[in-house]
Chain A
Amino acid sequence: MKILEVENLSKNFDGFKAVKEASFSLEKGEIFGFLGPNGAGKTTTINMLTGLARPTSGFIEIAGEDGIKDIKKVQQIIGIVPDESNLYDEMNGLDNLVFCASLYGMDKTKRETRAKNLLEQFGLADTGKKLFKAYSKGMKRKLVIAAGIIHEPPILFLDEPTTGIDVETARQIRRLIQTLNAGGTTIFLTTHYIEEAERLCHRIGFIVEGKIIKIGKTVDLMQETQQVNIIEFTLENDVEPLKELIRKVFTNVNINMIDHFRIRISSPEKIDLMPFMKFFDEKDQLVREAKIIRSSLEEVFVKVTGIEINRMKKEKEKGGGKK
């Protein structure tokens, strides 16, 4: 059963097309991942779905309501967790949650009980009376998520929920997302962490330069690359200067730079290691490791978008391109 449906959704900014005729839907109870590089249109799409941006054209239906005309009705049943904190620094954790609950019209007893329960659930019970500005980055992120689900919405929009936080907190947040989903919450998740999308999402949509270029079940997308052979070389020295030359020499394979010292070769045909070993040897590049890589969503992403993961991560670290 569809809980969200989007048809030909577009957003233009002074002639620049940020989102181009996006069409997709969400099934009730699924986690849908929206993957794309910086500036691809992920946040603009979320903003249009949640009422922070007005679509230039297109149609949105959420839980049977018109997501453009009746956005205030829709906002009652959706939860939103933005990519950056939007809580109040001068209020403590508990007061922030109680205040957010009041925006949905929850009565005093209910909102206080719910806020305390969420603090408990998110491991923040001991810091409920601490000012939000004194929270660590990970704690802030958890509280922002708690604020997003304070009114128990059936649909939750999560914009880059684990970006910029430590590994352990990110793991806890992923677990929370899975718990929420197991409780019946439909989740729309944007992320640039491919492995996160692979681990959490039932279905995935790839968006590049405002256009959705592929949507499918995670398992189906993975199957598409099962036939692809991938070998990863780890080299002693920086391989970046040789990148173009490798591409010129080995035209029958795909080359993907992981970082300055790691390079991935993929091909539907069996890959012969020897020519590569010889090439690196001629270029005085010591091969420290050569390993076969299991096909992952990363390969699907690279194949579908033509974007190197390394570039996407770098762009994200720079933090530009958000609307």
Chain B
Amino acid sequence: MKKLIAFWSILMKDMKTYYIKPPNVSWGLIFPFAWTLMFFVRSERAIDIRGVLPGVMSLAVLFGTTSMLAVTITFERKSRSFERLLLAPISLNLLMLAKTSGAIIFGILNAMVPAIIASFVVDLSGINWLTTIISIVFIAVTSTFLGLFISVSVSEVFEAQTFSNFVRFPMMFLCGLFIPIERLPVLLRPISYALPLTYGADILKTSINQNGIIPSWISFSVLIGYSLFLFLMSNYNIQKRWIY
């Protein structure tokens, strides 16, 4: 019960201090909205809007989650308030889960923005909503842990943002969103298949348009694998760098 109180308090504190602050709410709404508009305006037919929806949702989650962790972790570490959490009688794993839960929720809500906008423009019937929601949760978890890994590997907020961009932008172009993986140069394809977003976007393609190319069980397994790897690496980095 004590652990649950601590977990809940950290989550609520982050929500109040960071996520529901006007700049972040507007970022959470405007950013996916801008993505959505950009892609939807480019789409000439209604069916194209459905076609780009998985990609837009994936990107909204990826950018929403990774951006927030630089603030909630790197900034707190810099201002020494993260030290207070490390000195609390809660395990490092629980602390990391508490610190990332807010970003996961934020990412999931980010993904809803394109879906809500699309619902006004195109017919969204036939979508497997259960799989869609589960896959959004998986993408949010993996992206958040990617953001966590980046945040605990650097010392400054600007480093976290720069490092994030080095990871996010290549991922955006290589995950099959703009160019289908089968049309990418052969040399780049292995990189595409090494990116977690490729699998997240593919599950969404399957659940929304039934045109994914990777079996869903493989995609889910890869996302779970990535999440575990990133979480454990983050734990290792905190222990090595911050509990010196």
Q: Taking beta carbons and an 8 Å cutoff, which residues of A are in contact with B?
A: 13, 50-54, 72-73, 75-76, 80, 82, 84-91, 99-100, 102-107, 147, 323
CA A88 – CA B71 in complex, angstroms? 13
Q: Report the Cα distance A76→B3, complex, angstroms.
A: 12
Q: Which of chain A's residues has its CB closest to B5's CB? A: A105
Residues of B within 8 A of A89 (CB): 79
Distance in angstroms from B94 CB to nearest chain A CB is 10
Whether the pair B86, A52 counts as a contact (CB closer than 8 A) is yes
CB-defined contacts of B89 to chain A, threshold 8 Å:
72-73, 75-76, 103-105
> CA of A103 to CA of B88 in the docked complex: distance in angstroms?
6
B6's partner among A52, A103, A147, A323 (CB-CB below 8 A) is: A103
Cα separation A103 to B12 with both chains bound (whole Å): 12
Q: Whose C-beta in chain B lies nearest to the C-beta of A50?
A: B87
Ranked 4 nearest A-B pairs via Cβ: A105-B2, A102-B9, A103-B88, A76-B89
A contact residues around B1 at 8 Å (CB): 105
Which one of A52, A76, A88 contacts B81 once the chains associate, using CB atoms below 8 Å? A88
Q: Given the interface contacts A72-B91, A82-B80, A91-B17, does A103 sit within 8 Å of B243 by beta carbon? A: no
Known: A102-B5, A103-B6, A105-B1. Contact between A54 and B80, CB under 8 A? no
**With contacts A72-B91, A103-B88, A104-B89 known, is A86 near B83, CB below 8 A?**
yes
* Total residues of chain B contacting the partner, CB 8 A: 24
* Chain B residues numbered 48-96 whose CB sits less than 8 Å from any CB in chain A: 79-81, 83-91
Q: Are A99 and B9 in contact (CB under 8 A)?
A: yes
Within 8 A of A (CB), among B79-131: 79-81, 83-91
Q: How far is the CB of A10 from chain B (nearest CB, A)?
A: 14
CA distance A35 to B86 in the complex (A): 26
Known: A72-B89, A73-B89. 4 other contacts (CB 8 A): A80-B87, A86-B84, A102-B9, A103-B9
The chain A residue with its CB closest to the CB of B18 is A90
Taking CB as reference atom, which chain B residue is nearest A85?
B80
The residue among B8, B9, B87 with the most chain A CB atoms within 10 A of its own CB is B87
Q: At the interface, yes or no: B13 with Cβ under 8 Å from chain A?
A: yes
Which residues on the A side are within 8 Å of B217 (C-beta)?
none
State how many angstroms separate the Cβ of A107 from the closest Cβ of chain B. 7
* Set of chain A residues within 8 Å of B178, measured between Cβ atoms: none
Give residues in B with beta carbon < 8 Å to A. Answer: 1-3, 5-6, 8-10, 13, 17, 79-81, 83-91, 243-244
Residues on B with beta carbons closer than 8 Å to the beta carbon of A84: 80
Nearest-neighbor residue (CB-CB) of A105 within chain B: B2
Distance to closest chain A CB from B103 (angstroms)? 17
Interface centre among B3, B9, B91 (most CB of A within 10 A): B9
B81 engages A51 (CB within 8 Å): no
- Using Cβ atoms and an 8 Å threshold, which residues of chain B touch A85? 80
Q: Using CB atoms, name the residue of chain B closest to A157.
A: B87
Task: Tell me the minimal C-beta distance from A48 to chain B in angstroms.
Answer: 10
Question: B77: shortest Cβ distance to chain A, in Å?
Answer: 11
Nearest A residue to B88 via CB reads A103
For the complex, give the distance between the alpha carbons of A85 and B85 in Å: 13
- Asked whether, in the complex, the Cβ of A99 is within 8 Å of the Cβ of B3, the reply is no
Contacts of B91 in A (CB 8 A): 72
The answer, among B79, B83, B85, for a CB contact under 8 Å with A103, is B85
Tell me which of A82, A99, A100, A323 contacts B83 (CB under 8 A). A82
Give the distance to chain B from A11, nearest Cβ to Cβ, in Å.
9
Complex CA–CA separation, A70 to B83 (angstroms): 18
Query: Which residues of A have CB within 8 Å of B85?
Result: 103
With CB as the reference atom, state the residue of chain A lying closest to B17.
A90
* A88 partner, pick from B3, B8, B17, B244, beta carbons under 8 A: B17
How far is the CB of A99 from the nearest CB of chain B, in Å?
5
Q: What A residues does B83 contact at CB under 8 A?
A: 52, 82, 86
B residues near A75, Cβ cutoff 8 Å: 87-89
B90's contact among A50, A52, A72, by CB below 8 Å, is which? A72
Q: Which residues of B contact A73 (CB under 8 A)?
A: 89
User: In the assembly, what is the distance between CA of A100 and CA of B5, in Å?
Assistant: 11
